[in-house]
Structure 1
Amino acid sequence: MESEALAAAAAFPLTPPQQYLIINNIQKRKNIRDMLLSAAAFGVVEVLVVGQKLLSFDQAMNIEDVLPNFQFPFRITRFATLGECRAHLVAVEPTVTILGIEILHNAKSVNDPDVFAGPTAVMAGNEGSGLSDAQLAICDRFVYIPQYGGGTASLNVTVATSVVMHAFALISNPDVCRSQNLHMPATEVAAIETELEKACPHALGEWTSTAITGNDVLSSCLYSSGIVASKAGKLAPVANILVAATMYLFRFIYIEVVSAIPLNGGSYNTMLNTTSKRWAAFVSALAIIAYLATGVVSAVSASDYLQKEVPGLDTIWSATGILTVFAILNVCGLNDSAVVALIIFAVHTLTLIGLVLASVVYAVQHPHIFWSNMGTPFPSLDVEGHDLPGNAATALFFGFSSAMLGVTGFETAANFVEEQAPGTFRKILRNIWYLSSFFNLTLSVLNLCVLPLHVTTANSNVVLAMMASTTVGRWFELWLSIDGFIVLSGSVLTSYVGITGLAKRLAKDRVLPEFFLVENAWRHTSHYIILAYFVVATSLVWILEGNVVMLSSVYSYAFLGLLVLFAVSAMLFKLKRSQMPRETTAPWSACIVGLFMSCMGFWGILMGDPKVSVVFATYLLTVSGLILLMLERLFVLRMIMVVLKTISPSPASDKMRLPLLQSPSEVLGGPAIVKAIKTINEPPIVFFCKHPDLQVLNKAVLYVRRNEHTDNLRIVHVYSRGGAPPAAFHDMVAVLDCMYPKLRIDSVVVEGEFSPSTVHWLSHALNIPTNMMFIRQPDNMDAHKVSMLGVRVITG
């Protein structure tokens, strides 16, 4: 069985074999020139010149009279002897076959199906005497061209060489639809199943996962309480109730979507499986800004709590130092430890409980503070640059928008769902909702009972430390400041880890540049991602001068934008992916109300501080621009080629000689761009087809053309062992291949069971990552398990 699989794979090479041309002992310049032109026409990648006179060869390359401004698209390499030429070929292509063109008893017809075997170097003999003894000695096999007319002694050397090169190009042409039959060896499938069981231990349980998410969410309490009080005044508790109600709806929205597609990526992954790649890429830009703002706000807030105990400490430099330290730690390989996160989470939760108890005692002893705060007027607001008197409506509207800051980090659980035990995600959201709702609401009420509103507003960055100092004393203030510094610093670490995972996912999906996947040899960490995050985060600290309120607004923009788009994607998910299995189904009313509330929160942030919108838009457009450049890089390259041809054409003489000295990437203009375009389009895409339905297959082809850069789509059908593939499958694929001439569409049938192990085996056999494999909406648990591997759902 294993030999059958290998034979099938050999019949259908994963990448088209390459063709070479050896020129040796050719006398006439015209023949050399015509050979080079034929080589350019039939896809030769390298011409190997052995012992040819330089002057004669250079003159043969001068084709300005025939094709002005033409540039040969292949490498030209010189050798002194045929032995050196063969050694070079074997080094470049170990399986290369040197095919001599000669009429011999052991030569095969150019029409024989097995005359070409993998990479081939074609070599013709002298115009009169044919192949020399030295040439015959290095050939692996021979080919002749049968004649069907009256016959002649031999064809012209250029004609014969061109016929052979054309025949090779025909069978290896990437535009020709090909079919492949694969048989999976049972031993390999069993080994993959064993590895899959070992690779997913699901070590993260309910409380370790809750701790990782909770450190993000509960750290928000340290800086959101004062900001909400400054916007909502005495109605801060009501604003937090509205937030708790909103996030209650989003609990079930998140559970429905993530349980159906339990993959890391959160909102990006949801949009990728329900809409186009461009919309998903835009969501990823918001997610990047959210991680960026998380780290910046946490670093600045940690500096504020540290400054409370170290007067005179510069917040901006301190925040920069925190970002620097954690950048170095991440480059050195320090990742977010679940155990450490659990310890920090437990200590922070106990600290907040202690603050709540102390504040309750203090409130009972000093009830006048609460009643005094109830008598204060609503805070005036700066709306679009105009001072407006506050009222209950403005307090609730802008207070609600600011209070959403207290639940930022809620989406963190969806970004590491693959590392969680089955059924854990629902419990995480339940725990986080209870904890965030309790502490945000309780602390907002107790804040009114402990501190006068003017004191809260003046110390909004460290309001919890002020409460600790007032209710217990100096030592508790010191404890809470240290706790706040540690928790917020831990949130910075989480941001580095989160952005690294997200950026690597985007790079694998070809949304971000692939150099972000590069790891250093020392610690095997993604240093480019870490350093890029550090530079951008530090710039944000300095541009906004460490202003927590403005930084928090940027954070809220990104978070609320993600909530809006997640609600939209959830509704699209209901419409387009209704048959996919899921743990629960959120009612339409929850999606609509959740969308409305998140839109209102976004609008409130926008109206409350328009200056921040400029900063947010600048960073969002920068990230989106980089992503758009990646998605449209083929268009950009083609435009560059047009511009270069227009404004800076290379001199003809240079064009004739540069290929002798340089590789195509070093040549001015076209060849370098053509090579880049081919490199971008080279990786193939797989679409799994359950039933041969031409309409579904056409939708898959259209999706690939609109969303991916590729010249090759492989449509795979898996049929049961002992059965037979559908008779119409190969014909349908061939029809699509004719309909879309710019895309090579191949058919692949696999005997076996459609399962995760099958997908992994195919990924290895075809050398295609699972995130570049697509599937129709799965309607059963077996297919659903496949989509959980990262296989993208693209059609309904």
Structure 2
Amino acid sequence: MEPKKIHKKLNELASTAICGNDISSSVLYVSALAIAFAGQYAWITLLIVSLVLFLFRKIYGEVVGALPLNGGAYNALLNTTSKGMASFAATLTLLSYMATAVISANEAIHYLHHLIPSMPIILTTIGLLLFFAILTIGGIRESSRVAIGIFLFHLSSLVVLSGFIIYFLTNNGVELFMQNWNFPVKEGSVINAIFLGFAASMLGVSGFESSANFVEEQQAGVFPKTLRNMWAIVSIINPLMAIFALALFTIPILQSSEFQNTLLIEMGHYVGGKWVAILIAADAFLVLSGAVLTSFVGVTGLLERMTLDRIMPQFFLKKSRTGSSYRIIIMFFLLSVSVLLITNGDVKLLAGVYTISFLSVMALFGIGNILLKVKRNTLPRPETASWPSILLAIGAVLIALIGNILMETPKGSPSNVVVFLDYFIPSIIFIIIMLNRTLLLKFLLNIIHTIFDPIRKFVFKIDKNIVATINHINSQEFVFFTKGDNIATLNKVMLYIIKNEHTKKIKIVLALEKGQVSPPNLSNEIEFLGKEYPEINIEFLVVEGKFSPKLIQELSQKWDIPVNFMFIGSPSDKFPYKIEELGGVRLII
């Protein structure tokens, strides 16, 4: 067997840069967006968002710390509920990445268009998407180098802009900020302004969930640091830029359409002249491009995990020499380009998809944490989130989701919910079909028998092909490692297999070290289960050796069964190995 090429994992800077470009690019629009709804209270709403994100640091830290596998909310729900619920979260995540990639690429080109007016928008947007698709195919480390360069340039540009603004305010004072503070609030309600401002500002933390989708590519201990770094970035730059904006311009000017689209460029031009504005425009192009890269990296990790779990076609598992799943990347590129062409470049129509899917994923991650505490309470984890913080975080996200749904869209534009459903319904239908493909194939088989029995030769040929397809799907063998569990526990295993997997074969394996003996009733109980579930071939095996990652790999190679088709029950605190050391073994009880 050819030795598997080992790919180096990402350090703290590289991991932070990949997801940080997405979340830090929010400074280009979220301050203006918050001011549009909350006026002089925008910086307060942005600080509230920072507090909510602080709560999610613990939530993500607990879930991913306990289950450090790619997939984010999908992985959390897969290991605590069913494939159906996990696939629902995955669909929302995929839509969020798709909308982020298309919107960020298009907005990046619009900023570049300020510098090069003759440039064709749609064609150049496709070129930018193609560039990052090729870069991602080149491998995660190559992508991370570009991400680091963009990330450091972006932070440096913000430092330069802040320096000019502070110098300007030192010389000219902050009287305008005080005038804005006394400016009448829209519709006269401070609470309503803060509510809508908070709902809009929550969009500024998109990207926070991305780190969880490529955690397997990160070095040990890096993931919680990426959460800390992203939280620190948005907690500082977003409220600060809102305060700066309120100190430089009046609220009516800030709420005008021109300033809503290019606030930081206008600020740079006002305090530092043309060259600072050009610097910010170039930075905007680069960091929004970095958000495109975040989408490609995040969606690759997510769809790889879904393909390994046989939700997506196995066609997507083919890897390049650099270790990237190039078929997933190409598919995502084609999907993004098709959406760009369908909208004819008017990507603001995708705002509803981006808004609802992103906030829903955040809420589902919180729900995943609750389920992890209830169903997998013995699973070791490096940190824990308290119950009040989880409920408060989920509640805050739901408030933001409601606020975004209630927001009025521009005249003539469809509502956020309508646009979201236009993309969500076809996506979830495809996932439902993949989850129930054997059932649908059997249903199709029955229809064929009913209609085409008179044409026996034709029916027989199709019958043979479809049965072969079903048998191929069900031929995959699964393994459950028992610790000598009682029949009630083993029955739960069988119920899980029947409900969630397409198979007719399962090995129940007991690993015994020298001197140990099998529980006396175990063999009889498994024989009884075989009679209760005649549709599944149950094979009981006792193997000599200590249950360990090495034994798992040996049995996987010996039986030609992938590790992610091997199951265990939830380990206790005394279990000597971390879950990630087991190579992808799934927890099912």
The TM tier, using the shorter chain, reads over 0.9
User: In 2, distance between residues paired with 1:701 and 1:763?
Assistant: 20
User: In 1, distance between residues paired with 2:138 and 2:385?
Assistant: 43
User: In 2, distance between residues paired with 1:222 and 1:454?
Assistant: 19
Match 1:485 to one of 285, 293, 318: 285
Deviations 1:609-640 (A, max 9, x none): 46122221222222211111011111111111
Match 2:166 to one of 343, 349, 360: 360
| 1:558 shift after superposition | 1.6
**Any residues of structure 2 matched to 1:406-425 within 5 Å, and which?**
406-425=204-223
Note closer, same or farther for the CA distance 1:345–1:259 as it changes in structure 2 (3 Å cut).
same
Letter of the 1:504 partner, please give it. E
User: Could you tell me which residue of structure 1 aligns to residue 552 of structure 2?
Assistant: 759
Deviations 1:673-692 (A, max 9, x none): 11111111110111111123
User: In 1, distance between residues paired with 2:452 and 2:185?
Assistant: 66
Note closer, same or farther for the CA distance 1:396–1:316 as it changes in structure 2 (3 Å cut).
farther
| 1:361 shift after superposition | 2.5
| 1:316 shift after superposition | 3.9
User: In 1, distance between residues paired with 2:337 and 2:565?
Assistant: 34
Alignment of 1:640 onto 2:447: no
Alignment of 1:590 onto 2:383: no
Match 1:742 to one of 507, 512, 535: 535
User: In 2, distance between residues paired with 1:414 and 1:695?
Assistant: 34
Letter of the 2:437 partner, please give it. R
Letter of the 1:471 partner, please give it. V
Instruction: Please identify which structure carries the higher helix content.
Output: 2
Whether contact under 8 Å (1:219, 1:487) holds in the other structure is yes
Deviations 1:265-284 (A, max 9, x none): 11111111111111111111
Match 1:498 to one of 298, 301, 322: 298
User: Could you tell me which residue of structure 1 aligns to residue 264 of structure 2?
Assistant: 464
User: In 1, distance between residues paired with 2:137 and 2:453?
Assistant: 45
User: In 2, distance between residues paired with 1:702 and 1:787?
Assistant: 27
Letter of the 2:316 partner, please give it. F
User: Could you tell me which residue of structure 1 aligns to residue 227 of structure 2?
Assistant: 429
Match 1:782 to one of 576, 579, 586: 576
Match 1:677 to one of 454, 470, 483: 470
User: Could you tell me which residue of structure 2 aligns to residue 615 of structure 1?
Assistant: 419
Deviations 1:714-754 (A, max 9, x none): 11111113433333222221111110111111112221111
Note closer, same or farther for the CA distance 1:399–1:542 as it changes in structure 2 (3 Å cut).
farther
Deviations 1:241-285 (A, max 9, x none): 110110111111111111111111111111111111111111111
Please tell me the root mean square deviation across aligned C-alpha atoms, in Å. 2.5
Count of residue correspondences: 580
Unaligned runs of 5+ in 1: 1-190, 380-388, 659-666
Q: Tell me, what secondary structure is at the counterpart of 2:209?
A: helix
User: In 2, distance between residues paired with 1:425 and 1:524?
Assistant: 21
Match 1:696 to one of 480, 489, 492: 489
User: In 2, distance between residues paired with 1:390 and 1:648?
Assistant: 71
User: In 1, distance between residues paired with 2:280 and 2:316?
Assistant: 38
Instruction: Please identify which structure carries the higher strand content.
Output: 1
Match 2:250 to one of 444, 452, 466: 452
User: Could you tell me which residue of structure 1 aligns to residue 57 of structure 2?
Assistant: 251
User: TM-score, normalised on structure 2?
Assistant: 0.92
User: Could you tell me which residue of structure 1 aligns to residue 71 of structure 2?
Assistant: 265
| 1:790 shift after superposition | 1.4
**Any residues of structure 2 matched to 1:559-574 within 5 Å, and which?**
559-574=358-373
| 1:328 shift after superposition | 4.3
Quick check: 479-488 or 511-520, which moved more?
511-520
Note closer, same or farther for the CA distance 1:551–1:226 as it changes in structure 2 (3 Å cut).
farther
Bigger radius of gyration among the two: 1
Quick check: 671-680 or 425-434, which moved more?
425-434
Whether contact under 8 Å (1:580, 1:784) holds in the other structure is no
Note closer, same or farther for the CA distance 1:476–1:644 as it changes in structure 2 (3 Å cut).
same
User: TM-score, normalised on structure 1?
Assistant: 0.69
Alignment of 1:370 onto 2:191: no
User: Could you tell me which residue of structure 2 aligns to residue 576 of structure 1?
Assistant: 375
Whether contact under 8 Å (1:261, 1:788) holds in the other structure is no
Deviations 1:420-464 (A, max 9, x none): 232222222112211111011111111111233344332322211
Q: Tell me, what secondary structure is at the counterpart of 2:70?
A: coil
User: Could you tell me which residue of structure 1 aligns to residue 146 of structure 2?
Assistant: 340
Note closer, same or farther for the CA distance 1:538–1:612 as it changes in structure 2 (3 Å cut).
farther
Unaligned runs of 5+ in 2: none
Whether contact under 8 Å (1:211, 1:338) holds in the other structure is yes
User: Could you tell me which residue of structure 2 aligns to residue 103 of structure 1?
Assistant: none
User: In 2, distance between residues paired with 1:211 and 1:508?
Assistant: 27
| 1:225 shift after superposition | 2.3
Identity over aligned pairs, percent: 37
Note closer, same or farther for the CA distance 1:337–1:329 as it changes in structure 2 (3 Å cut).
closer
User: In 1, distance between residues paired with 2:27 and 2:349?
Assistant: 17
Deviations 1:768-796 (A, max 9, x none): 1111111111113425446752111111x
User: Could you tell me which residue of structure 1 aligns to residue 431 of structure 2?
Assistant: 627
User: In 1, distance between residues paired with 2:581 and 2:402?
Assistant: 36
User: In 1, distance between residues paired with 2:60 and 2:158?
Assistant: 27
